[in-house]
Chains A and B, each alone.
Chain A
């Protein structure tokens, strides 16, 4: 009965209702709008301090092709250094906060003992640790530790929250099936916290990238994107500084995006959506 035109219209409506269309249209539009506003501002404000999108794009491409003056390394090298540092800090934070969070969520005494100490350190912004860590841990481990601090707290809170959110009827069910305390932990509590852990990872990744400039600012072994940004500012090569910022944005979007995807997949699997 329905003509091809009708069917096409129906299909169209379905696509626009699901929001896919909105994302497909509006995302490029909003990005284009942002670039336009940027361009206008770059004309109004001194172009040396705020280069336009085109200049930054050119610097972005160039930064990958030619080694930066006085640094002698390309953006690719900087990214590799930052990624290595980031990964180390992240893995370290993961290895400490996950067991600690599980313990603090599970054993009341562990929480009572650790909580006051943690609450003292939590409000200190990661950037405040930079001088201390550089002095104590030097140029390689110092920046790593700054990232560690940034990732540690959101991960820890989410793991603790995850343990406390375990459905008590699942514990009952496991107990009637013969699970002892250890098996309750490994077979019920830990799997239950995985989606919360993923939320913590997503938040931790975001904060970790926010910390990278601070972490690498004063100095870092083998460069780094944060170090690059700081260095280009010192040299007055602002278009390259902005290019470095774009690189961090891209790295952040990619890692957080992947993490959020995994998180949503797991939440769906666990019947939380």
Chain B
């Protein structure tokens, strides 16, 4: 699986003029890779992910999966949302089976698949709970399992742990790495937390403030599990943070 984004541009109509959300964005995400897109708020991270997911149209450029231009959403790309976006009237199991129902997978097969992913994300015993009965961390486990149950080639995650408290967030990051290692999926993960990106990523794509484009790409070769207290981790975090802070304070042309 290869995701190829080439000279992507996205403009939104805004009053009389246009708002350039993303410009000249070129990136290739390789098979099994864990790529974090890091950038200041409003730089177009969500827009980028939504375009790859097929939820949003692009203005120009190309976005290809294995050489095929994407047009609209498809089950080859799974998405995990910051707001969890679980169906509140469905149980954990029924949420996870949603995509399989759409694909008309027979019931026994559906159950076998949902069992596998319930086990994988550690939700055993909560199959019949409704989302309102779950904590934020557990809700996002459902969100991840639901996306994975469709067996996508790539997992798109938009600040999936942004709504969680610090402790839960750290635990979920660890869990995500375990799940990633077990499923061997490709992950495109959006965040505005440097710490999160350094902990998770094979590569960190730092974006500029709006209009969002790639500022710099960092290869993170530190072996996993990474130790946040290590000198290497701290110096990398400091370096990337400095890069990012320049973007936050940079005066943006006409907002």
Chain A residues within CB distance 8 Å of chain B: 167, 169-170, 172-179, 183, 187-188, 191-192, 194, 268-272
Residues of chain A lying within 8 A (CB to CB) of residue B156: 176
| Given known A172-B81, A178-B150, A269-B89, contact A187–B98 (CB-CB < 8 A) | yes
| Given known A191-B87, A270-B88, contact A174–B98 (CB-CB < 8 A) | yes
Chain B residues within CB distance 8 Å of chain A: 50, 53-55, 73-75, 77-79, 81, 83, 85-89, 98-99, 101-103, 130-132, 146-147, 150, 156
Q: How far is the CB of A87 from chain B (nearest CB, A)?
A: 27
Asked if B88 and A271 make an inter-chain contact with CB atoms under 8 angstroms apart, the answer reads yes
Q: How far is the CB of A26 from chain B (nearest CB, A)?
A: 31
Asked if B73 and A175 make an inter-chain contact with CB atoms under 8 angstroms apart, the answer reads yes
Asked if B132 and A169 make an inter-chain contact with CB atoms under 8 angstroms apart, the answer reads no
Asked if A169 and B83 make an inter-chain contact with CB atoms under 8 angstroms apart, the answer reads yes
> A-B pairs with CB below 8 Å: how many?
70
Q: For the complex, what is the distance from the CA of A179 to the CA of B83, rounded to whole Å? A: 19
Q: How far is the CB of B86 from chain A (nearest CB, A)?
A: 8
Asked if A170 and B130 make an inter-chain contact with CB atoms under 8 angstroms apart, the answer reads no
| Given known A191-B89, A270-B88, contact A178–B55 (CB-CB < 8 A) | no
Asked if B87 and A170 make an inter-chain contact with CB atoms under 8 angstroms apart, the answer reads yes
Q: Which 3 A-B pairs have the closest CB atoms?
A: A271-B132, A177-B99, A173-B85
Question: Please, could you name 6 A-B residue pairs with CB atoms under 8 Å apart, sorted by A?
Answer: A170-B85, A172-B85, A175-B73, A177-B150, A187-B101, A191-B87
Q: How far is the CB of A178 from chain B (nearest CB, A)?
A: 4
Residues of chain A lying within 8 A (CB to CB) of residue B74: 178
Nearest residue, chain A, Cβ from B130: A269
Asked if A178 and B87 make an inter-chain contact with CB atoms under 8 angstroms apart, the answer reads no
Q: For the complex, what is the distance from the CA of A272 to the CA of B88, rounded to whole Å? A: 9
Q: For the complex, what is the distance from the CA of A88 to the CA of B223, rounded to whole Å? A: 71
Q: State which of A170, A176, A188 has its C-beta within 8 Å of the C-beta of B55.
A: A176
Question: Which of A176, A178, A194, A271 has the most chain B CB atoms closer than 10 A to its own CB?
Answer: A176
Residues of chain B lying within 8 A (CB to CB) of residue A173: 79, 81, 85-87, 146
Nearest residue, chain A, Cβ from B74: A178
Asked if B146 and A177 make an inter-chain contact with CB atoms under 8 angstroms apart, the answer reads yes
Q: For the complex, what is the distance from the CA of A177 to the CA of B101, rounded to whole Å? A: 10
Q: For the complex, what is the distance from the CA of A230 to the CA of B178, rounded to whole Å? A: 75
Nearest residue, chain A, Cβ from B131: A271
Q: How far is the CB of B93 from chain A (nearest CB, A)?
A: 15
Residues of chain A lying within 8 A (CB to CB) of residue B98: 174, 177, 187
Residues of chain B lying within 8 A (CB to CB) of residue A175: 54-55, 73
| Given known A268-B132, A271-B132, contact A176–B73 (CB-CB < 8 A) | yes
Q: For the complex, what is the distance from the CA of A188 to the CA of B86, rounded to whole Å? A: 11
Q: State which of A169, A191, A272 has its C-beta within 8 Å of the C-beta of B81.
A: A169
